[in-house]
Amino acid sequence: MAVKGIKLGQVWRQDSSGQDYLVTKVYSEVFSQFAVLRPAEVTAPDAPIVKVKVAKSGVSVRHRRGYYATDPENWKKASGEDLKNALARNDADSSSVLFYARALPPSPNSEVKVEFLVDTHTVSFGTTNENQRYCNLEFQVQAYTQDGKLAKAEVQQAEAPLKPETYARIEKSGLPMPISIKLLPGKYMLRLGVRDNRTGLFGTTELPLNVADPTK
């Protein structure tokens, strides 16, 4: 079938090899749309299969074979402006990095605590000489008022070597990260994001929040 739209998270299967590929990024340029794929770590026989073909005469698909890796240090040195801008534009559908999140209602005159739980299978880990694993993540919380104005933003980096037993635990349960943000009483929409600084990939979502007025 012809593809009506390319979306992040789609699984594509190559007919000749049967290899599954995950759509990790999508770019639009005038009348063209480009997708960045990476081999899926596991096959997905039950996932919806998308077959790409050209339905319009005179149009062809350009592609190249192989995996073209980028130096992780280049992504590490790059800023998180891409994630910041995605949250500001309300592009809350990026799913290259998956995570759960919840905002705990604050007690009077205290900060809102946002708890992240990152799926470690969607971020990149390196290995140190001591056989420890490490990742480099950026967490962002942007709080918007009901009229769409940015009230407060918090950014926090996380990088630490993990012992084998610690890595084995978070691989099963997820990587937790709390972020605190001070907000006045009112209703907000929290835009949350997690960026893998080793690859430049990120995930975003939204979370409504009501901060009660302690005087009422």
Span 117-137, pLDDT tens digits: 999 988 988 888 788 898 999
Q: Answer yes or no: do 38 and 111 share one domain.
A: no
6 belongs to a structural domain: no
Residue 159, C-beta contacts closer than 8 angstroms, at least 6 positions apart: 134, 135, 136, 137, 197
Q: Answer yes or no: do 31 and 133 share one domain.
A: no
Tally of CB atoms within 10 A around 174: 17
Confidence at residue 66, expressed as pLDDT on a 0 to 100 scale? 44
Q: Answer yes or no: do 78 and 139 share one domain.
A: yes
pLDDT band at 209 (very low <50, low <70, confident <90, very high): very high
Q: Answer yes or no: do 34 and 113 share one domain.
A: no
pLDDT band at 139 (very low <50, low <70, confident <90, very high): very high
Q: Answer yes or no: do 22 and 103 share one domain.
A: no
58 belongs to a structural domain: no
Confidence at residue 2, expressed as pLDDT on a 0 to 100 scale? 43
Span 146-190, pLDDT tens digits: 998 999 999 999 987 899 999 999 999 999 999 999 999 999 999
167 belongs to a structural domain: yes
Alpha-carbon span 185 to 108, nearest angstrom: 10
Q: Answer yes or no: do 27 and 80 share one domain.
A: no
179 belongs to a structural domain: yes
Average pLDDT in the chain? 77
Confidence at residue 116, expressed as pLDDT on a 0 to 100 scale? 95
HSE toward the beta carbon, residue 212, CA cutoff 13 A: 8
Q: Answer yes or no: do 42 and 130 share one domain.
A: no
93 belongs to a structural domain: yes
Q: Answer yes or no: do 84 and 38 share one domain.
A: no
Q: Residue 173 is inside which H or E element, if any?
A: helix 164-173
Q: Answer yes or no: do 42 and 129 share one domain.
A: no
Q: Answer yes or no: do 130 and 35 share one domain.
A: no
Q: Answer yes or no: do 90 and 178 share one domain.
A: yes
Contact 73, 136 (CB under 8 A): no
Of the candidates 189, 184, 173, the residue with the CA atom closest to the CA atom of residue 103: 189
Average pLDDT value for residue range 76-86 = 68
Confidence at residue 109, expressed as pLDDT on a 0 to 100 scale? 73
CATH number, domain containing residue 114: 2.60.40.10
User: Which of 46-50, 65-69, 209-213 is predicted most confidently?
Assistant: 209-213
Amino acid at 138: E
Alpha-carbon span 100 to 26, nearest angstrom: 23
Of the candidates 100, 97, 110, the residue with the CA atom closest to the CA atom of residue 197: 97
Residue 202 belongs to what domain range? 72-211
The count of structural domains within the chain is 2
Q: Answer yes or no: do 182 and 117 share one domain.
A: yes
- Give yes or no for residue 69 having a pLDDT over 70: no
